[in-house]
Amino acid sequence: MNRPPSTVAPDMDRLILHNLPKAMVAAKLRAMGLHVEVQKAYAHYDLLLNGTIRLALRTASPSTHQHRQQVGTRRYVYRYRGWSFNFHHHGRMDERYCDVFVCLPLISKRPNLRDAYVIPWEACSAKHFWLHDTRRPYGGKYAKYRGAWEQLAIKVRRPTDDQKARKRRGE
């Protein structure tokens, strides 16, 4: 992504940075015909779709990652700009606490939902997703999930075994 410098206001706190995108995502999902319940701040997920799909929203402001390399006697330092999304809780992924992640890079003051990655839990094989800011479009493992909002409607129509079991238990 070839992007201008971030225009996200540095004085905005984390709640504000999260609540605006959460409201935008909820509005988009409602426009798709889904029933959306906003969850409490202490829940492990942000939105509950049609009473079955747990959606965790991950937002990230741009940050810089530094990489050092030495070749012979020469030392090189590379700085990469990008967005960092964590899937884990306290370094662990042992508890399935949601069904879908929506990773939204905060590129400007008004997030663009077309830049969001709608990633199912089953596709997450690592604790972390780093989205580089490059001139070329992202072509990594999660590229097929960019703007994949329609998969949520499909997921609601076909619940997984885990969702069926939770419904039987009354969760």
- Give the CA dihedral 23, 27, 30, 31, nearest 10 degrees: -170
Domain ranges of the chain: 14-169
Q: What is the pTM of this model?
A: 0.77
| Cβ count within 10 A of residue 11 | 6
| pLDDT tens for each residue of 76-86 | 998 888 999 99
For strands 53-60 and 100-105, give the pairing: parallel
| pLDDT tens for each residue of 139-150 | 999 999 999 999
User: How many angstroms separate the CA atoms of 103 and 56, rounded?
Assistant: 9
Q: Which H or E run includes 15?
A: helix 14-31
User: How many angstroms separate the CA atoms of 16 and 93, rounded?
Assistant: 27
| pLDDT tens for each residue of 23-57 | 999 999 999 999 999 998 778 899 999 998 999 99
CATH class as words, domain 14-169: alpha beta
User: How many angstroms separate the CA atoms of 145 and 143, rounded?
Assistant: 5
User: Do 54 and 162 touch, CB atoms closer than 8 A?
Assistant: no
